[in-house]
Structure 1
Amino acid sequence: MITISLCMIVKNEEKILERCLSCVADLMDEIIIVDTGSSDRTKEIARKYTDKIYDFEWVNDFAAARNYAFSKATKGYIYSADADEVLDKVNRERFHLLKQNLLPEIEIVQMYYSNQLQFGSVYNYDREYRPKLFKRIRNFTWIDPIHETVRTKALVFDSEIEIIHEQEESHAARDLEAFRRACGEERLSQRLHNLYARELFIAGEKEDFLEAEEFFEASCNDTQRSAEEVKEAACVTAKAARLRGDKLKFHKYAMKVIASEGCSEICMELGNFYKKEKDYAEAAVWFYNAAFETESLLDIRSKGDKPLLGLAECYRCLGMEEQAKEYQKMAGEWR
C-alpha cells in the first residue's frame, strides 16, 4: 500500500479548513500545512491534525508556496489539496481503495474536480479531470528494445474519485489582481494569457477590462504570440473599447476576430453593441451567430444562455413576444 503526504497552502481558512481536513486526515500518512500569513484561527485548527505547520512569506506566487509545501513531504506520494475541497463518503471509499491498490509505476493520479461553476472562474466545465496525487520521487527507466531512450512522459491514471469544490465566495477579484500584477513583472506564458482572458470574460467587471486593455492590445501586435493568443487578445481589447464607448477601436478589433473565423464572444460583443444602439434587428443577427453559428473561445456561456437571453430581449423590443418567450425558455433550459 502506498503512503501519502497531504500538502496544503492556506491563509485565513478558519471557516472551512476543518471541513476539509476532517474528511481526508485518516487517509493520509502525513499532513503538511504551509501558512502564507493567516491572522485568524487557521493554524490553531490545523494543529488538531498535524504538528507539521510551516510559515511561508507570501511572494505573490502560488507555485512557489506549493513547491515549498512539496519540499517538506517525506512519503511516497503527495496529495495536493485546497481548503475548500471536500470528499464525501463514496469518494472517501474510492480514495481508500486507490491507496490500497495503486500500482507503483503510476506517477500521477487524476481525479474529477466538480462544482466549479458555482462561482465565476476561469473554468468552463462543472466537472473535469485534474492531477491531484503525485509520486514524490520519480524513477527514470529506459524503454524500447532498440534505439532505447529514457521514458520522460509521466504514467498517468484517471481515477473515479470526485473532489467536491465548495468555495465560500468568488476568487475572481483576487485572481484578476494577480494577473494584473503578473503582467507588469514578466511576459505571460501562453497558458496564463489564455486564463487571464478567460477570467475576464467569465467573471470580469468593466474596470477589469479597462485595466487589461493596454496589455491585451499589445498582445494583438506581439509577433511572438500565436494566432490563438492574438484572437483572445482582440476579444478582450474589443470588449474594453466597447465598454469605453470607443466605437472605432471596437470595430477595428472585432473585425480582426471576425476575419479569423470569429467566435461566440465577439458575436456577443457585436450583439451588445447594436442592442445599445437600439438596432435590435441587427443585434439579433449577432446574438443568433453567437448561439448557433460560432464556437466559444473563452466563456462557454457566450454560446449558451447569454446570447439566447440577448435574442429574447431583442425580439421583445421588436414586439415579437412569441419568439422572445421561446428564446427565454431555451436560455432557462441551457444549463
Structure 2
Amino acid sequence: MAAKSGRARRARSKPSPARGTRPAPESAGIEPRLAPAAVVLLTYGPRRTTRDARRRLNAMLGSGHDGGQVPVVEFSPLNAHLDGLPAGASLTRVLEGCPPGPVLLLHDDVNIRPRGVERLVRAHLEGVGVAVPVTNDRGCDHFGGPLPPVARADADLDALDSDPPGGGEGPQPVSTIRPACLVADRDTLVDLARRRIHDPLTRLTDRGAGFAMVPGAHVAHDGSCSRQMPSPVLESEPPLLVAAMIVRDEEDMLPGCLDSLRGLVDRIEILDTGSRDATVDIALARGASVNRAPWRDDFSQARNEVLEQCRDAAFVLWIDADERVRCPDPELLRRSLASFPGDIEALDVRMRNIVDPAAGTVSSTFTSARIVRADLLAFEGTIHEQPVRRQDPRQGLETVPTGLISLDHLGYQDEVVDVRDKRTRNLELARAQYDTERSPKAALDYARSLMLAGEAPDEAVDLLREAVAAARGMRVDWHSYLQGSLAHLLLERGDEAGVRESHTLARAAFEAVPRDDLAAAVFARTATELDLTSEFIDSARTRASADVHLEGPEPVFTSPDNRDLFRRLLLEALVTEGHPSDAWTLVDTWWGPEASPDRGIDGEMWPTVAATAVSAKGPEDGTAALVDLAAGLGTAHGLTTALASLVPPVLTAVAAASLLSVGVRADDAASTGLIAAVVGGEWALFDVMAPQAASLDPVVRSRLAARLDGAGEHQRAAALTGSTSGGSGGGLLGLAGLAGVGGSGGPQAGS
C-alpha cells in the first residue's frame, strides 16, 4: 500500500535534539561505494542560493567544483529557452549525457545530508526505481512535517538521518511525489523529464516507475525555486491565457462562470449562438468580447469558430457557462504557463460533475485537456466534442496533469437538464453523428444520450456492444470504461442472462483497470447477486489493499458513490465469509488515522462499518474502535443508529456521549444515545447527554419525555421538555470511564 503523509511522519518521528544539545553537523562526506554516479543540480537562483548549493555538494562529494570523481552538472530550467529549445528538451540532453548508475537530481534550494544521499543511493541499488526522501514539501505522499530553513537545517537533518533509519522500516511505495530531490537511473530520469520534472510546481504520480520514500533520508526544501518563476501581469499583450466559450440562453449560469475566471485569464472570448435572454448583456457587462453566429447543430464547429478569436494567445482555456473554475492561486498557474510554454501542449484538468452544489455532492470525476496551446487546438465531434491537434487530428495532444486548477460542472443536475431540454437536444445530435461516423465514440455518445433520455435500453445495449468490440486493441482505460458501461446497463436490465454477461464484462474491466469505480461496483453487485462471493474476494483483494494507489492505467472516470458501493459490498462479503479482521484492516486502510480519505463514511456505509467492527473486535472493543474512527473523521451520521441494533444499550449510549463530547457531527447521536440510556437505565449517561436534547425535533423530544414518564423518571422528563442547548464539554469519554457510571447496566440487547 502506498504511504500516506501519516506514514511519512512516522518515519521522521524521532524528535530533534533540544536546542543547545544538538550534535555538530556532520563533516564527513559520502561513502564512495554509495556515491551517485552523477549529480544534476537544477539551479533556479537567486545566485546566493545556487552558490550555497554548490558549497553543500562540494562538502559531500569532495573538493573542487566537479566534486572529485562524481560529475556535477548544473542546469537552469528558467534560462533553458536561451538555447532555443524547450526546458524539457534541454534537460533531456543533459540527462542523456550522464553515466550509467544512480543519478542524484535536486534543486538548488534543497538541503540533503551525506547519510540521506547514501540511503537514497542504497535504496536505488537494491531495486527502488525512484528513491525519494522524507520532505517538508506538503501535498505529496512523502511529506514528513516542517523543518527549519535550508541554511539552518543541518543539525535537524543529521539528527533525523541518524540510525536506525525510520525505526527499521524499508522503502515505502508512494503514489505522488514532489521531484525536488530524488535518485533514479538515467533512462528513468529522461522519461520523467517529459513530465516536466524541472517545473517547481510539478507533482508526479507514479505510472510504473516505482516511486518509494526512503526512511532515514530527509531533506529541507525552501521552495524559493517557484518564487523565481516569472509573474506575468494580467491583460498582457500578447495574452498568456484566454478563455473561449460558446453560449446560448445562459443568463442563469453565465455570471458564476465569468466570476470564477477573474484574476486568471487575460481575456474572455464568447460566441453566442442565438440567445434570446440577457446572456449577451451579462457577458458584455463583465468585460467579455462577444461575437454572434447561427447555431448549426455542431458543437465542434462553434468551438472552432470562437477559437479563431484566440489565436494571438499562448494558451486557451475552453470552458462552458455551466462550469466553475477552482483555482486557489491563479498567479501560480500563470507563472507555470509563462515559465515553460514550450514544454506544454495541453494541461489535463480535473473535472467534477456536481449533482448538488449546496452539499458539494460529486457524482463523478475525470480529466480533460482544458488548457491547450492556442496554435495547436481544434475540436472534432458533433456532440461531446473533443480537443484535437489542429494540424493533424490523428496525432493526439501531449497532456500533462496539473493540480493548480480544476473545474466543477453543474450542467447535469436534473433540474438543469430538464430546463434546457438537454436530453432531446443531445439525442438528436448523437443520432445524427452516429449515422454519419459509425465510430466507437459515436456509438458511445449515442448510447449515453439514449440512457440520459431514458429511451430504448435494448438499442443502447447494442450500441455499447458495438463500441466495446470496435475498441479492442485501443487504450485500455477506454476499453475498460466501455465494458463497465455495458455491464452496468445489462445489470440494470435485470434478467439472469444479462446479469451473468454483466459479471463477465465487469470482472474483465476491473482486472484490466482496478481503479475503474464503475467496473468495480458492477463486479461487486453481480458477484453478490450470483453468489460468487469467494471469487469476488479473491479478485478484489489487490485493489482493496492498495485502493487508489494501485499502479496501472488511470480510469476514464472516477465515481465516489461507486467506490463506496464496492467497499461496502467487499466488507460485507469478508464478514460473511468469516474474515472480519481482514475487513476491519481495510476500514483502517481506507478511513483510519494514517489514511487520506477522499470523503468520509456516510449513513449508508456506517451500518456495514459498525457490523465489521463488532464482528472483528467484539461489542465493547468494536464500539471503542468505531468511536475513535468517527472522532478522526469528524462526522458519524448514522453510526449510533447502526450500533443500536448491534450492541447493548449501554455501549450505544457511551458511544453517543463520546461523540457528542468531542463535537463529532452526528445528527442521530443525541436522539439514539438518549433513548439507549433510557432503555438501559443508564441515568448518569442520560444526564451527560441531556443538554443536547434541545437540538432534537420537538416530536422526538416529546416521545422521549413520554418514555421517561413511563419509566417513572418524571423529573428528568420535565427537565427534558424544558432543556436548553449546551454540551457537557471535556474530551473524549472513554468506554471504561462511562460504562460503569450510574444505572444498572440495562438489558443485554440492542436498543
TM-score (norm 2): 0.33
1:32/1:53 contact within 8 Å kept: yes
- Aligned-partner Cα distance in 1 for 2:559–2:466: 27
Q: Which residue in the other structure is 2:465 paired with?
A: 217
Q: Which residue in the other structure is 2:166 paired with?
A: none
Q: Which residue in the other structure is 1:247 paired with?
A: 496
- Aligned-partner Cα distance in 2 for 1:36–1:304: 39
Alignment partner of 1:56 is 2:307: no
Structure of greater Rg? 2
Tell me the CA shift for residue 67 of structure 1. 0.3
- Aligned-partner Cα distance in 2 for 1:206–1:327: 37
Residue among 412, 420, 440 paired with 1:170: 412
CA 1:316–1:25: 2 relative to 1, 3 Å: closer
1:237/1:250 contact within 8 Å kept: no
The percent identity for this pair of structures is 17
- Aligned-partner Cα distance in 2 for 1:283–1:11: 51
- Aligned-partner Cα distance in 1 for 2:273–2:497: 46
Note the alpha carbon deviations across 1:32-87, whole angstroms, 9 max, x for none. 21123444432111011347322333344332221010123363435224232336
**Structure 1: stretches of 5+ with no match in the other structure:** 139-150
- Aligned-partner Cα distance in 2 for 1:23–1:261: 37
CA 1:171–1:55: 2 relative to 1, 3 Å: farther
Q: Which residue in the other structure is 1:226 paired with?
A: 473
1:112/1:163 contact within 8 Å kept: yes
2:244/2:310 contact within 8 Å kept: yes
1:271/1:285 contact within 8 Å kept: no
2:510/2:523 contact within 8 Å kept: no
**Quick check: 230-239 or 42-51, which moved more?**
230-239
- Aligned-partner Cα distance in 1 for 2:481–2:264: 42
Alignment partner of 1:119 is 2:357: no
- Aligned-partner Cα distance in 2 for 1:46–1:250: 50
Report SS of the residue matched to 2:329: helix
The one-letter code of the counterpart of 1:226 is: G
The one-letter code of the counterpart of 1:45 is: I
Residue among 295, 299, 307 paired with 2:566: 307
Q: How large is the Cα RMSD of the aligned pairs?
A: 5.0
- Aligned-partner Cα distance in 2 for 1:19–1:332: 34
Tell me the CA shift for residue 241 of structure 1. 2.5
Pairing of 1:1-335 with structure 2 (within 5 A): 2-4=237-239, 5-22=242-259, 24=261, 30-50=267-287, 52-73=289-310, 75-82=312-319, 83=321, 84-86=323-325, 88=327, 90-91=329-330, 93-95=331-333, 97=335, 101-102=338-339, 108=345, 110=347, 112-113=349-350, 119-121=362-364, 123=366, 130-136=369-375, 162-170=404-412, 174=422, 177=426, 180-181=430-431, 182-189=433-440, 212-222=460-470, 225-226=472-473, 228=476, 232-252=481-501, 254-255=503-504, 262-263=511-512, 264=514, 268-276=521-529, 279=531, 282-283=532-533, 285-286=535-536, 289-290=539-540, 292=542, 299-300=557-558, 304-314=563-573, 334-335=597-598
2:325/2:405 contact within 8 Å kept: yes
2:326/2:408 contact within 8 Å kept: no
Report SS of the residue matched to 1:80: strand
- Aligned-partner Cα distance in 2 for 1:185–1:325: 53
- Aligned-partner Cα distance in 2 for 1:331–1:231: 24
Report SS of the residue matched to 1:47: helix
Tell me the CA shift for residue 312 of structure 1. 3.3
Greater relative contact order structure (CA < 8 Å, 6+ sep) = 1
Report SS of the residue matched to 1:219: helix
CA 1:58–1:289: 2 relative to 1, 3 Å: farther
**Quick check: 176-185 or 53-62, which moved more?**
176-185
Note the alpha carbon deviations across 1:96-148, whole angstroms, 9 max, x for none. 5467x45775674637546567533461xxxx67351423489xxxxxxxxxx
Tell me the CA shift for residue 284 of structure 1. 5.8
- The count of residues paired between Structure 1 and Structure 2 equals 309
Tell me the CA shift for residue 216 of structure 1. 1.5
Q: Which residue in the other structure is 1:148 paired with?
A: none
Note the alpha carbon deviations across 1:180-234, whole angstroms, 9 max, x for none. 53444422356x778899x89xx97987965521101233455x75364666544
CA 1:38–1:317: 2 relative to 1, 3 Å: farther
2:346/2:400 contact within 8 Å kept: yes
1:106/1:157 contact within 8 Å kept: no
2:244/2:270 contact within 8 Å kept: yes
1:268/1:287 contact within 8 Å kept: no
Tell me the CA shift for residue 254 of structure 1. 4.1
